[in-house]
A = this chain, B = another copy of it.
């Protein structure tokens, strides 16, 4: 359908030659074999199995290859071996800055280990995500799922097929890389306790977000420990706009400090509160999560619990690569530390006047 039929007359005689094919097309191992006077299989071995051929034929072949500017055809190689030197990364939302660093971390690691990164997005939809994953599965050696939205079962099913590493969520039986929120949260809560806050609100993220629950649990636990009161509020969407819409609930909650599921919510909330004349942090403290790009653009700059997202991306890619090369653990969760980044949006509350 989408593929236009190519009528036999498509290639006008000796007309302008466009892409590829023209003359010095790509050299194959057969060309090298001919030039070096050996068999193609010898060339194949010389080029992939070190030590399998004598050093002088090796040199002969390498010279010929260099001269012909040879490059392996990845498809021809992938066909018999099934290996593509490629892995996939699926993120929930490409424009969400949370994923910027994850992508970069994964890309850097991939390139440095001579792998290619294929990127796909799920647009926050479990169904799209599954489709994308299935599609990628065919062409990659392994898959990284960052903040996946699909069922645990689906993830496990995928992991059955090829190595899969999950970021930002824990799935039984699948290797995961997850920021351990507790350290960062307890630092944050202690800081708030020290500043005299007594009642802390947590603005939750999407209901299907595993991480949002962990953060809420962390906040509750830390508040318990510091003998503060924790209240939970919901948000419509984990975006700046969603954050604005929570302002009303936040004020109604009577909390003097707010932690939000992510920085986007925090920024939106702060904008809305400031627009209503509320001074941050004098009247209310705001703390986000993740320390995304732009978190310090605000006035005051946002205090936040940083997750080392770049590291997560790297770690996940490294783990996946290890898995592909036979080393590395089969499953289990790798924790990375979080920490409080203290900026201007949190502090001591001003005595009510």
Contacts and interface: CB of A to CB of B under 8 A. Distances in A.
B76 A79 contact: yes
A4 interface: yes
A82 interface: yes
B294 A325 contact: no
A41 B20 CA distance: 27
Interface stretch (A32-40, A134-142, A184-192, A203-211): A134-142
Oligomeric state, in number of copies?
2
B19 A163 contact: yes
Contact of A107 (B20, B120, B163): B120
A229 interface: no
Interface string A245-286: 000000000000000000000010000001000000000000
Contacts of A66: none
Interface string A1-44: 11110100010000000011000000000000000000000000
Interface in A90-138: 94-95, 97, 100-101, 103-104, 107-108, 111, 113-114, 116-121, 132, 135-136, 138
A299 interface: yes
A74 interface: yes
Interface residues of A, number: 58
Contact of A118 (B101, B116, B294): B116
Contacts of A121: 104, 107-108, 111
Contacts of A20: 82, 161-162
B101 A2 contact: no
A253 B219 CA distance: 50
A151 to B, nearest CB: 19
Contacts of A299: 274, 298-299
A160 interface: yes
A90 to B, nearest CB: 11
A116 B135 contact: yes
A95 B313 CA distance: 13
A4 B75 contact: no
Contacts of A298: 297-299
A267 B325 contact: no
Interface in A149-181: 160-163
A71 interface: yes
Given A1-B50, A4-B325, A95-B104, 14 more contacts: A4-B327, A19-B160, A19-B163, A71-B138, A73-B79, A73-B138, A74-B139, A75-B75, A94-B107, A95-B100, A97-B100, A111-B120, A116-B120, A267-B297
Interface of A: 1-4, 6, 10, 19-20, 48, 50, 71-76, 78-79, 82, 84, 86, 94-95, 97, 100-101, 103-104, 107-108, 111, 113-114, 116-121, 132, 135-136, 138-139, 160-163, 267, 274, 293-294, 297-299, 325-327
30 contacts: A1-B50, A2-B114, A3-B325, A4-B327, A6-B326, A20-B82, A20-B161, A20-B162, A72-B138, A73-B79, A74-B138, A75-B139, A79-B79, A94-B100, A94-B103, A94-B107, A95-B100, A103-B119, A107-B119, A107-B120, A108-B121, A111-B120, A111-B121, A116-B136, A119-B119, A274-B299, A294-B294, A297-B298, A298-B298, A299-B299
